Amino acid sequence: MDSSTPAVRAPVGPLEAEAAAFAAAACAGQMRSGRRSIPVTAHFEEVAALMALAGASDSERAAGRLHDVVEDSSVTLAEIRERFGPEVAAIVDGMTDPPEFAGMPLLERKTLQAERIRSKPDAVKRGKIADQTSNLRSLAVDPPTGWPPEKCRAYAEGALRIVSACRGASPVLEALFDEAHAEVARVHGPFRPADNVQ
């Protein structure tokens, strides 16, 4: 977890603990792309902890720990299903971009993510709100290296579109997201239509 954001820790259940170890092995050595060299697993931890604040089950928190593993490693969704079961795999699948989203302009990809998640179960939506909240918290204090303010603003706008498609799944997470979104706007400025960048 980024030390500049509030600590949001909860007791870790057995499935979440197994998922944390699995994700750490799958993404060993991977760092977030900001200046601070924070392991990607810190993001996974924060997503699961945020989900816990919303009353997420051990399975849901396990999915939070695994949500980027399919995109960021050689692990397949079938492996997740075999090791962690269909409930975890379904949440991870709902939070994972289909391959055809790769390479799309940022706001186009985020808009498609929003459309895709709109029909997903609340467990997936809670995971996605937690993911977007964690990402915006990082964006406010340690944006990816080389990202100009307009790209930060475009990312935040895309995150807002996604969370708007998830509203109603968790008022607790939605309030935390709104705080993170407001902080990005304070740091990087409000979104402008001209901010639609790659």
- Split into its structural domains, the chain has a count of 1
Can you give the pLDDT at residue 193? 72
For the chain, give percent helix, strand, coil, nearest 5: 65, 0, 30
In a domain, 6, yes or no: no
Residue 194 confidence (pLDDT): 64
Q: Which domain holds residue 138?
A: 14-195
pLDDT, block means (10 residues), the chain with 198 residues: 46 93 97 92 96 95 97 96 98 96 92 97 98 98 94 95 98 98 95 67
Q: Is position 152 within any domain?
A: yes
The predicted pLDDT at position 2 comes to: 44
User: Which CATH number belongs to the domain containing residue 176 in this structure?
Assistant: 1.10.3210.10
In a domain, 1, yes or no: no
For residue 83, being part of any structural domain is answered with yes
All residues at 6 or more sequence positions from 23 whose CB lies less than 8 Å from its CB, including other chains: 41, 44, 65, 66, 69
Q: What pLDDT score does 192 carry?
A: 78
Q: What was the pLDDT predicted at 3?
A: 39
